[in-house]
A = this chain, B = another copy of it.
């Protein structure tokens, strides 16, 4: 777009920082070792923004967009790039690598960009790991990261590794684009519909999973959720976080998206507000529906944390929130489920664009769409019968 200018916040509040808490945690559910000892011990506040709305302590490095867009000296091309790094939040090093890469690429995908010319990896190994642990965990993390990069059509060509108290994993995604390859997130119009491409609740699921081994915490939520349900929700969250938003980015072009962002550390409300602020037209976003990994709404409520129903619960590598013309939205949701894009893509209509002063809100009693984990059987979630649904509302 013509307005592309050298602005934009690359990288954002990391859900992982917020999500990684507890730590006496499970002793390695998967191959390799538990990350529990090599990440933050204390719960940390969601939202360490580098972008819009950052506090004086965390200086703003840009404004509002998911990726930087830098006009180049070379005929009409733009440099688009983004960086993110964070701490492990799942126990599986390979999946952690995938999630980190998916999370970095997601900032390009939120601009409707489907290609990535280069990926750098940012890595630290924990000083408190033994040599043996490092040699087990690090290659798996790197492989997961590389595999996800390959799935994104790019390759890791470099990076930086340091020793640190905590494990760090992240990257830098860069692409040089022609103007028609990206969609500036500023053209929502009244009557548009908001679509979300992954269910919410990753932070809740990751934390609930850690609470399985923390009786004090578990006691607070065990009335509303079973251990098996938490296990399923955790697996579902991990799967979703590791899924690339690349298909959604491609469909943004097919269905004439007007703007998009990805849902990460600020939660769906925070990112909706950021996106609303970017708009050229006098619009506001109203969210009616919250697709949430099954049972995580109840866990959020029972725990008294997160604010999932208020839209403030951080997500890691969340879905794209896309403004689409009303007549295109249902087609988008239907198309993304097509088997030609592989397994596991879903999308829900979650809200509308109305006239307003560039803000966003969630209605008083949003409809919670309980998204069944793929691993779930009907029996596993039998005692939840109220409003379960894995279908998009419309």
Q: Which residues of A come within 8 Å of B, CB atoms?
A: 6-12, 14, 17, 40, 42, 44, 48-51, 54, 56-59, 61-62, 67-68, 70, 72-74, 77, 79, 81-87, 117-118, 120-123, 125, 127, 131, 134-135, 138-139, 142, 155-166, 168, 170, 172, 174, 176, 178
Contact = CB atoms under 8 A, between A and B. Distances in A.
Given A57-B135, A135-B57, A164-B165, A157 B8 contact: yes
Given A50-B160, A120-B11, A172 B72 contact: no
Nearest to A175: B79
Contacts of A157: 6-8, 10, 61-62, 68, 70
- Among A59, A87, A156: residue with most chain B CB under 10 A: A59
How many copies the complex holds: the figure is 2
Nearest to A155: B6
Contacts of A12: 160
A156 to B, nearest CB: 6
B122 A122 contact: yes
Contacts of A77: 74, 77, 176
A76 to B, nearest CB: 9
Contacts of A164: 164-166, 168
Contacts of A10: 120, 157-160
Nearest to A54: B161
Nearest to A87: B162
A152 to B, nearest CB: 15
24 contacts: A6-B118, A11-B160, A17-B163, A40-B163, A50-B121, A50-B159, A58-B138, A61-B120, A61-B156, A62-B159, A68-B118, A70-B117, A72-B176, A73-B176, A74-B74, A74-B77, A77-B176, A79-B174, A83-B122, A83-B158, A84-B160, A86-B162, A120-B172, A176-B176
B79 A162 contact: no
A12 B156 CA distance: 15
B162 A131 contact: no
A158 B8 contact: yes
A77 B175 CA distance: 12
Given A58-B125, A72-B117, 19 more contacts: A8-B158, A10-B120, A12-B160, A14-B162, A40-B163, A42-B127, A48-B163, A50-B121, A57-B138, A59-B142, A61-B158, A68-B120, A68-B158, A74-B77, A74-B176, A74-B178, A77-B77, A83-B159, A83-B172
